[in-house]
């Protein structure tokens, strides 16, 4: 009888342990690239919810009532910071969420974009490694029982990022120095340029929020001709028609798509951060190589 009682206690303990494991802490990431990084570190120990999903522009995002529900009971909210998620403070306030907000760019030396900080720090793989360290530490602090798992996941993922960083450097070093410049509609590659020595020339007066005027386009065409820019790139968050016209009038190659601020869906070219960077390396190499 006593043995049977002990057996029941054991079964109850196992059942409750499984129950705990079945409900991992809920954490939120503000946009798709950060969601992928958090998912790689959190693994099966967390449930990651991403607010700005694939192929969407976090700069001009308008939160929905569903977003407020998503963050209401989250334990952590991971943000990029550096002014990227201007819409977030109001969303957090309206949701009544008590989540701790973790800024993934803490410890990164920001570049300037005009008079503001440039938020696109993830475009340097070295910076992405800092994001991963911050994510690991925040998850471990919020969920100490799984610290070992977060450390192991982070270590494995950081090793992949080391390989990725080396591959970007090797690929860019093979492009002739005089050809290491592109024009791109979205000023998202400042950190990539600083890390890997490719010059990204942004057309003046063009943002993801408005279409350029005829005068803007004429200015850009002059710019491409004068600077002998070998390639122009389209991005998944801007209208491609502008770049096609510039290409037709200047002879610059349309280099395909460079992904900057958002991943693609599962079936796209850039469903993960690592695949995004690898896609961009390939596109740059094809457009600028001999
Ligand atoms: Zn951007």
Calpha distance 279→275 (Å, rounded): 6
Expressed in angstroms and rounded, the spacing between residue 17 Cα and the centre of ligand 1 is 43
Q: How far is the CA of 70 from the centre of ligand 1 (A)?
A: 24
In angstroms, what is the span from residue 186 Cα to ligand 1's centroid? 7
Ligand 1 mean position to 15 CA, how many Å? 46
Question: Do residues 58 and 260 make contact, with C-beta atoms less than 8 angstroms apart?
Answer: no
C-alpha 187 – ligand 1 centre gap (Å): 7
Average pLDDT, stretch 207-225? 75
Cα 259 to ligand 1 centroid, rounded to whole Å: 10
| Chain-centre distance for alpha carbon 280 | 13
Q: From ligand 1's centre to the CA of 50, what distance in Å?
A: 17
Collect residues with CB below 5 Å from ion ligand 1. 188, 261
- What's the gap in Å between 21 CA and the centre of ligand 1? 37
* pLDDT of amino acid 202: 77
* Cα atoms in the 13 Å half-sphere on the side-chain side of 289: 11
Span of 44-53, 63-72, 230-239 with lowest mean pLDDT: 230-239
Q: What percent of the chain has pLDDT over 90?
A: 66
Per-residue pLDDT at 155: 98
Buried b (16+ CB within 10 A) or exposed e, 255-272: bbbbbbbbbbeeebbbbb
Residue with tokens 């030396």: 109
Calculate how far, in angstroms, residue 119's C-alpha sits from the geometric centre of ligand 1. Answer: 7
Query: What is the crossing angle of helices 32-42 and 273-288, to 10°?
Result: 130
Q: State mean pLDDT over 190-195.
A: 96
Q: What is the mean pLDDT of the chain?
A: 88
Contact in structure between 105 and 131 (CB atoms under 8 Å): yes
Tell me the whole-structure pTM to 2 decimals. 0.86
Distance 247 CA to ligand 1 centre (A): 23
For range 232-258, the mean pLDDT: 75
**Higher-confidence position of 58 and 234:** 58
- Is residue 50 a contact partner of residue 29, using CB atoms and an 8 Å limit? yes
Task: Calculate mean pLDDT across residues 210-238.
Answer: 77
CA of 4 to the centre of ligand 1 (A): 63
What are the angstrom distances between the C-alpha of 27 and each of 1, 78, 83, 146, 239? 45, 8, 21, 14, 33
If one compares 118 and 6, the residue with the highest pLDDT of the two is 118
Pure H helices in the chain: 2-22, 32-42, 65-72, 88-95, 125-142, 147-173, 190-196, 214-226, 241-250, 273-288
184 CA from centroid of ligand 1 (Å): 12
User: Using CA atoms, how far apart are residues 95 and 80, in angstroms rounded to an integer?
Assistant: 20
DSSP string, 25-92: PEEEEEEHHHHHHHHHHHGGGSEEEEEE-TT--GGG----HHHHHHHHT-SEEEE--TTS-TTHHHHH
């Amino acid at each position: 009888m006593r043995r049977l009682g002990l057996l029941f206690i054991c079964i109850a303990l196992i059942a409750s342990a499984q129950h705990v494991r079945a409900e991992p802490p809920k954490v939120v990431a503000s946009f798709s690239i950060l969601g992928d990084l958090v998912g790689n570190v959190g693994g099966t120990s967390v449930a990651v919810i991403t607010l700005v999903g694939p192929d969407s522009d976090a700069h001009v995002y308008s939160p929905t009532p569903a977003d407020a529900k998503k963050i209401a009971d989250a334990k952590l909210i991971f943000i990029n910071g550096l002014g990227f998620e201007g819409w977030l403070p109001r969303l957090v306030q309206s949701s009544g969420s008590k989540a701790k907000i973790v800024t993934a760019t803490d410890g990164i030396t920001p570049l300037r974009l005009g008079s503001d900080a440039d938020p696109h720090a993830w475009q340097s793989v070295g910076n992405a490694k800092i994001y991963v360290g911050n994510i690991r530490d925040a998850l471990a602090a919020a969920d100490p029982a799984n610290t070992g798992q977060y450390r192991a996941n982070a270590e494995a993922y950081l090793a992949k990022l080391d390989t990725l960083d080396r591959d970007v450097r090797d690929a860019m070093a093979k492009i002739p120095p005089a050809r290491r410049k592109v024009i791109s509609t979205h000023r998202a590659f400042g950190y990539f340029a600083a890390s890997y020595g490719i010059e990204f020339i942004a057309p003046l007066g063009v943002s993801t929020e408005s279409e350029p005027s005829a005068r803007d386009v004429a200015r850009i065409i002059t710019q491409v001709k004068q600077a002998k820019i070998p390639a122009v790139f389209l991005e998944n968050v801007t209208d491609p028609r502008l770049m096609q016209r510039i290409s037709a009038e200047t002879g610059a190659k349309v280099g395909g798509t460079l992904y900057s601020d958002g991943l693609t869906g599962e079936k796209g070219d850039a469903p993960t951060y690592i695949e995004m960077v690898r896609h961009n390396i390939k596109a740059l190499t094809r457009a600028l190589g001999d």
